[in-house]
Protein backbone atom coordinates (compact mmCIF):
# COMPACT_ATOMS: atom_id res chain seq x y z
CA UNK A 1 0.00 0.00 0.00
CA UNK A 2 1.27 3.44 -0.94
CA UNK A 3 0.95 6.29 1.55
CA UNK A 4 0.55 9.94 0.65
CA UNK A 5 -0.48 13.18 2.31
CA UNK A 6 -3.17 15.77 1.69
CA UNK A 7 -1.72 19.21 1.03
CA UNK A 8 -4.02 22.24 1.23
CA UNK A 9 -6.46 23.78 1.42
CA UNK A 10 -5.89 25.65 4.63
CA UNK A 11 -7.17 28.78 6.28
CA UNK A 12 -5.17 31.96 6.27
CA UNK A 13 -3.65 34.65 4.11
CA UNK A 14 -3.69 33.70 0.43
CA UNK A 15 -0.33 35.38 -0.08
CA UNK A 16 1.28 32.88 2.30
CA UNK A 17 -0.52 29.73 1.21
CA UNK A 18 1.66 29.01 -1.82
CA UNK A 19 4.81 29.01 0.27
CA UNK A 20 3.24 26.70 2.84
CA UNK A 21 2.02 24.28 0.19
CA UNK A 22 5.45 24.21 -1.45
CA UNK A 23 7.11 23.58 1.91
CA UNK A 24 4.70 20.72 2.58
CA UNK A 25 5.23 19.00 -0.77
CA UNK A 26 9.01 19.39 -0.54
CA UNK A 27 8.89 17.68 2.85
CA UNK A 28 6.70 14.90 1.41
CA UNK A 29 9.08 14.27 -1.46
CA UNK A 30 12.19 14.36 0.71
CA UNK A 31 10.55 12.07 3.30
CA UNK A 32 9.84 9.45 0.66
CA UNK A 33 6.04 9.79 0.59
CA UNK A 34 4.48 8.28 -2.50
CA UNK A 35 1.83 10.85 -3.27
CA UNK A 36 0.47 14.28 -2.46
CA UNK A 37 -3.29 14.65 -2.82
CA UNK A 38 -4.68 18.15 -3.29
CA UNK A 39 -8.33 18.61 -2.26
CA UNK A 40 -10.58 20.93 -4.22
CA UNK A 41 -13.00 22.70 -1.93
CA UNK A 42 -15.39 25.51 -2.89
CA UNK A 43 -13.66 28.18 -0.81
CA UNK A 44 -9.99 27.70 -1.60
CA UNK A 45 -7.23 27.48 -4.19
CA UNK A 46 -7.68 25.68 -7.49
CA UNK A 47 -6.30 22.15 -7.10
CA UNK A 48 -4.82 21.91 -10.59
CA UNK A 49 -3.08 25.27 -10.28
CA UNK A 50 -1.67 24.06 -6.96
CA UNK A 51 -0.54 20.80 -8.61
CA UNK A 52 1.25 22.81 -11.29
CA UNK A 53 3.08 24.88 -8.68
CA UNK A 54 4.06 21.77 -6.72
CA UNK A 55 5.08 19.92 -9.86
CA UNK A 56 7.48 22.67 -10.85
CA UNK A 57 9.29 22.36 -7.51
CA UNK A 58 9.44 18.56 -7.19
CA UNK A 59 10.85 15.75 -9.29
CA UNK A 60 9.52 12.42 -8.04
CA UNK A 61 6.30 12.49 -6.02
CA UNK A 62 2.95 11.76 -7.66
CA UNK A 63 0.49 14.67 -7.48
CA UNK A 64 -3.24 14.03 -7.48
CA UNK A 65 -6.38 16.13 -7.30
CA UNK A 66 -8.97 14.87 -4.82
CA UNK A 67 -11.23 15.84 -6.46
CA UNK A 68 -12.17 18.39 -9.14
CA UNK A 69 -15.97 18.79 -9.41
CA UNK A 70 -17.08 18.01 -12.96
CA UNK A 71 -19.93 20.52 -13.11
CA UNK A 72 -17.66 23.49 -12.42
CA UNK A 73 -16.11 23.49 -15.91
CA UNK A 74 -16.64 22.19 -19.42
CA UNK A 75 -14.75 18.92 -20.12
CA UNK A 76 -12.60 20.61 -22.76
CA UNK A 77 -11.58 23.29 -20.25
CA UNK A 78 -10.77 20.64 -17.65
CA UNK A 79 -8.78 18.58 -20.14
CA UNK A 80 -6.78 21.63 -21.22
CA UNK A 81 -6.07 22.54 -17.60
CA UNK A 82 -5.14 18.98 -16.63
CA UNK A 83 -2.82 18.50 -19.60
CA UNK A 84 -1.11 21.79 -18.78
CA UNK A 85 -0.67 20.79 -15.14
CA UNK A 86 0.63 17.38 -16.17
CA UNK A 87 3.27 19.02 -18.35
CA UNK A 88 4.28 21.32 -15.48
CA UNK A 89 4.61 18.27 -13.22
CA UNK A 90 6.72 16.33 -15.69
CA UNK A 91 4.02 13.71 -16.23
CA UNK A 92 3.37 13.00 -12.53
CA UNK A 93 -0.25 14.14 -12.36
CA UNK A 94 -3.23 11.95 -11.48
CA UNK A 95 -6.53 13.64 -12.23
CA UNK A 96 -9.16 12.94 -9.59
CA UNK A 97 -12.65 14.09 -10.60
CA UNK A 98 -16.20 13.59 -9.41
CA UNK A 99 -19.81 14.78 -9.67
CA UNK A 100 -19.56 16.51 -6.28
CA UNK A 101 -22.61 17.10 -4.04
CA UNK A 102 -25.91 18.90 -4.36
CA UNK A 103 -24.95 21.45 -1.70
CA UNK A 104 -21.97 22.52 -3.82
CA UNK A 105 -23.40 22.22 -7.32
CA UNK A 106 -26.94 23.46 -6.70
CA UNK A 107 -26.76 25.55 -3.53
CA UNK A 108 -23.40 27.23 -4.17
CA UNK A 109 -22.98 27.26 -7.96
CA UNK A 110 -26.64 27.44 -8.90
CA UNK A 111 -26.31 24.59 -11.41
CA UNK A 112 -28.60 21.60 -11.86
CA UNK A 113 -27.70 18.43 -9.95
CA UNK A 114 -29.83 15.92 -11.79
CA UNK A 115 -28.76 12.38 -12.66
CA UNK A 116 -25.13 12.89 -11.60
CA UNK A 117 -24.13 9.38 -12.70
CA UNK A 118 -25.47 9.89 -16.23
CA UNK A 119 -23.80 13.29 -16.35
CA UNK A 120 -20.52 11.70 -15.29
CA UNK A 121 -20.70 9.12 -18.09
CA UNK A 122 -21.36 11.82 -20.67
CA UNK A 123 -18.60 14.00 -19.26
CA UNK A 124 -16.09 11.15 -19.41
CA UNK A 125 -16.99 10.54 -23.07
CA UNK A 126 -15.57 13.98 -23.85
CA UNK A 127 -12.77 14.03 -21.30
CA UNK A 128 -11.37 10.65 -22.36
CA UNK A 129 -11.03 11.74 -25.99
CA UNK A 130 -9.58 15.12 -25.04
CA UNK A 131 -6.95 13.59 -22.75
CA UNK A 132 -5.75 11.35 -25.59
CA UNK A 133 -4.93 14.41 -27.71
CA UNK A 134 -3.70 16.18 -29.66
CA UNK A 135 -6.46 15.93 -32.18
CA UNK A 136 -10.08 16.71 -32.83
CA UNK A 137 -12.57 16.07 -30.05
CA UNK A 138 -15.82 15.11 -31.73
CA UNK A 139 -18.33 13.76 -29.22
CA UNK A 140 -22.10 14.00 -29.13
CA UNK A 141 -24.17 12.41 -26.40
CA UNK A 142 -27.13 13.24 -24.18
CA UNK A 143 -25.36 16.19 -22.54
CA UNK A 144 -22.62 17.45 -24.85
CA UNK A 145 -22.18 18.25 -28.54
CA UNK A 146 -18.45 18.93 -28.80
CA UNK A 147 -16.46 19.55 -31.98
CA UNK A 148 -13.23 21.05 -30.70
CA UNK A 149 -9.68 20.78 -32.03
CA UNK A 150 -7.10 20.37 -29.28
CA UNK A 151 -3.42 20.97 -29.94
CA UNK A 152 -1.97 19.46 -26.76
CA UNK A 153 -1.74 15.93 -25.42
CA UNK A 154 -0.36 14.06 -22.42
CA UNK A 155 3.41 13.84 -22.02
CA UNK A 156 2.95 10.55 -20.12
CA UNK A 157 0.00 8.34 -19.18
CA UNK A 158 -2.51 10.50 -17.31
CA UNK A 159 -4.55 8.39 -14.86
CA UNK A 160 -8.09 9.50 -14.13
CA UNK A 161 -9.62 8.64 -10.75
CA UNK A 162 -13.33 8.99 -10.05
CA UNK A 163 -14.86 9.86 -6.70
CA UNK A 164 -17.35 7.02 -6.36
CA UNK A 165 -19.41 6.32 -3.26
CA UNK A 166 -22.55 4.49 -4.35
CA UNK A 167 -23.02 1.30 -6.42
CA UNK A 168 -23.69 3.03 -9.75
CA UNK A 169 -20.72 5.39 -9.47
CA UNK A 170 -18.46 2.52 -8.39
CA UNK A 171 -19.49 0.61 -11.49
CA UNK A 172 -18.66 3.63 -13.66
CA UNK A 173 -15.31 4.03 -11.89
CA UNK A 174 -14.44 0.41 -12.54
CA UNK A 175 -15.52 0.54 -16.18
CA UNK A 176 -14.18 3.95 -17.13
CA UNK A 177 -11.49 5.15 -14.69
CA UNK A 178 -8.26 3.99 -13.11
CA UNK A 179 -9.76 3.79 -9.64
CA UNK A 180 -11.61 5.76 -7.02
CA UNK A 181 -10.80 8.43 -4.43
CA UNK A 182 -12.72 8.07 -1.17
CA UNK A 183 -13.57 10.14 1.87
CA UNK A 184 -15.71 8.90 4.77
CA UNK A 185 -15.05 5.23 4.00
CA UNK A 186 -13.81 3.04 6.84
CA UNK A 187 -12.29 -0.42 6.55
CA UNK A 188 -15.59 -2.33 6.45
CA UNK A 189 -17.08 0.05 3.88
CA UNK A 190 -14.06 -0.53 1.65
CA UNK A 191 -13.93 -4.31 2.14
CA UNK A 192 -17.66 -5.02 1.83
CA UNK A 193 -18.88 -2.26 -0.49
CA UNK A 194 -16.21 -0.38 -2.43
CA UNK A 195 -13.57 -2.96 -3.33
CA UNK A 196 -15.88 -5.75 -4.54
CA UNK A 197 -18.01 -3.48 -6.70
CA UNK A 198 -15.26 -1.49 -8.39
CA UNK A 199 -13.05 -4.55 -8.89
CA UNK A 200 -15.87 -6.57 -10.47
CA UNK A 201 -16.72 -3.71 -12.82
CA UNK A 202 -13.08 -3.33 -13.88
CA UNK A 203 -12.73 -7.07 -14.50
CA UNK A 204 -15.89 -7.20 -16.59
CA UNK A 205 -14.67 -4.22 -18.63
CA UNK A 206 -11.28 -5.86 -19.20
CA UNK A 207 -9.45 -3.15 -17.28
CA UNK A 208 -6.56 -3.51 -14.82
CA UNK A 209 -7.24 -3.79 -11.11
CA UNK A 210 -8.38 -0.34 -9.93
CA UNK A 211 -6.63 1.83 -7.37
CA UNK A 212 -8.61 2.55 -4.21
CA UNK A 213 -7.46 5.75 -2.51
CA UNK A 214 -8.85 6.24 0.99
CA UNK A 215 -8.56 9.60 2.72
CA UNK A 216 -8.31 9.54 6.51
CA UNK A 217 -7.24 11.95 9.26
CA UNK A 218 -4.20 10.93 11.36
CA UNK A 219 -3.27 12.22 14.80
CA UNK A 220 -0.17 11.07 16.66
CA UNK A 221 -0.98 11.34 20.35
CA UNK A 222 -0.88 9.57 23.69
CA UNK A 223 -3.45 6.82 24.27
CA UNK A 224 -5.09 9.09 26.84
CA UNK A 225 -5.59 11.76 24.13
CA UNK A 226 -7.29 9.56 21.54
CA UNK A 227 -10.82 10.69 22.42
CA UNK A 228 -9.75 14.34 22.26
CA UNK A 229 -8.12 13.72 18.86
CA UNK A 230 -11.29 12.17 17.47
CA UNK A 231 -13.38 15.02 18.81
CA UNK A 232 -10.98 17.47 17.16
CA UNK A 233 -11.29 15.60 13.84
CA UNK A 234 -15.08 15.72 14.06
CA UNK A 235 -15.01 19.43 14.87
CA UNK A 236 -12.58 20.45 12.12
CA UNK A 237 -13.50 18.02 9.34
CA UNK A 238 -17.11 17.13 10.04
CA UNK A 239 -18.85 19.61 7.75
CA UNK A 240 -19.00 17.19 4.84
CA UNK A 241 -20.99 14.71 6.90
CA UNK A 242 -24.14 16.67 6.05
CA UNK A 243 -23.97 15.27 2.51
CA UNK A 244 -26.43 12.42 1.89
CA UNK A 245 -23.76 10.81 -0.29
CA UNK A 246 -21.37 10.57 2.64
CA UNK A 247 -24.10 9.50 5.02
CA UNK A 248 -24.93 6.56 2.78
CA UNK A 249 -21.26 5.61 2.59
CA UNK A 250 -20.95 5.73 6.37
CA UNK A 251 -23.91 3.35 6.57
CA UNK A 252 -21.86 0.69 4.75
CA UNK A 253 -19.22 0.72 7.50
CA UNK A 254 -18.81 0.92 11.25
CA UNK A 255 -17.80 4.60 11.52
CA UNK A 256 -20.45 7.05 12.63
CA UNK A 257 -18.49 10.16 11.69
CA UNK A 258 -15.07 11.42 10.62
CA UNK A 259 -13.83 11.16 14.20
CA UNK A 260 -14.24 7.39 14.01
CA UNK A 261 -12.23 7.40 10.78
CA UNK A 262 -9.33 9.17 12.44
CA UNK A 263 -6.24 7.00 12.98
CA UNK A 264 -5.32 8.31 16.41
CA UNK A 265 -2.85 7.13 19.01
CA UNK A 266 0.81 6.18 19.19
CA UNK A 267 2.92 4.91 16.29
CA UNK A 268 1.87 1.31 16.83
CA UNK A 269 -1.83 2.17 16.85
CA UNK A 270 -1.58 4.26 13.67
CA UNK A 271 0.41 1.56 11.86
CA UNK A 272 -2.14 -1.06 12.88
CA UNK A 273 -5.00 1.08 11.51
CA UNK A 274 -3.11 1.57 8.25
CA UNK A 275 -2.67 -2.21 7.93
CA UNK A 276 -6.39 -2.73 8.42
CA UNK A 277 -7.10 -0.38 5.52
CA UNK A 278 -4.55 -2.24 3.41
CA UNK A 279 -6.13 -5.58 4.26
CA UNK A 280 -9.55 -4.17 3.34
CA UNK A 281 -8.36 -3.50 -0.21
CA UNK A 282 -7.02 0.05 -0.07
CA UNK A 283 -4.11 0.53 -2.47
CA UNK A 284 -3.33 4.11 -1.44
CA UNK A 285 -3.87 6.09 1.75
CA UNK A 286 -4.26 9.85 1.59
CA UNK A 287 -3.44 11.16 5.05
CA UNK A 288 -4.81 14.38 6.48
CA UNK A 289 -2.39 15.36 9.26
CA UNK A 290 -4.25 16.45 12.36
CA UNK A 291 -1.91 18.04 14.93
CA UNK A 292 -3.03 18.27 18.53
CA UNK A 293 -2.07 20.71 21.27
CA UNK A 294 -2.67 24.10 22.83
CA UNK A 295 -1.33 27.05 20.89
CA UNK A 296 0.76 27.34 17.76
CA UNK A 297 4.00 26.05 19.25
CA UNK A 298 2.46 22.77 20.41
CA UNK A 299 0.59 22.31 17.12
CA UNK A 300 3.76 22.82 15.07
CA UNK A 301 5.66 20.35 17.26
CA UNK A 302 2.81 17.84 16.93
CA UNK A 303 2.83 18.16 13.15
CA UNK A 304 6.60 17.61 13.05
CA UNK A 305 6.39 14.47 15.19
CA UNK A 306 3.50 13.09 13.15
CA UNK A 307 5.43 13.62 9.93
CA UNK A 308 8.42 11.69 11.25
CA UNK A 309 6.27 8.75 12.34
CA UNK A 310 4.25 8.80 9.11
CA UNK A 311 7.37 8.58 6.96
CA UNK A 312 8.54 5.54 8.87
CA UNK A 313 5.18 3.76 8.64
CA UNK A 314 4.94 4.52 4.90
CA UNK A 315 8.34 2.97 4.27
CA UNK A 316 7.34 -0.19 6.18
CA UNK A 317 4.10 -0.58 4.21
CA UNK A 318 5.58 0.02 0.77
Question: Nearest CA to 122 among 139, 110, 102, 109?
Answer: 139
The β-bridge relationship of strands 284-289 and 211-220 is parallel
Q: How far apart, in whole angstroms, are the C-alpha atoms of residue 143 and residue 122? A: 6
**pLDDT at residue 9 in the model:** 67
Q: What is the pLDDT of residues 145-169, one digit of tens each?
A: 999 999 999 999 999 999 999 999 9
Q: For residue range 76-93, what is the model confidence (pLDDT) as tens digits?
A: 999 999 999 999 999 999
Residue 242 has pLDDT above 80, yes or no: no
Quote the CA–CA distance of 63 and 11 in Å, as a whole number. Answer: 21
Contact 47, 38 (CB under 8 A): yes
Burial status of residue 13 (CB atoms within 10 A of its CB: 0-12, 13-18, 19 or more): exposed
Task: Give the global pTM.
Answer: 0.96
pLDDT at 194 over 80: yes
pLDDT single digits (tens) 164-182: 999 999 999 999 999 999 9
Amino acid sequence: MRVGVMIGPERGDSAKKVGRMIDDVLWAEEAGMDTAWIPQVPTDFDALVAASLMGARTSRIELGTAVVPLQAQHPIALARQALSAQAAAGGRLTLGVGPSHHWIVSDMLGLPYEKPAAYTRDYLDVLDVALRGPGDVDVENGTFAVHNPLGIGPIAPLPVMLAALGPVMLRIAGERADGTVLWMADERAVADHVAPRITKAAQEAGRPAPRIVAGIPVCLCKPSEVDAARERAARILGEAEISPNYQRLLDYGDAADVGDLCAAGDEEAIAARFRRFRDAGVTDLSVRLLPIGEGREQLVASKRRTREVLAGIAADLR
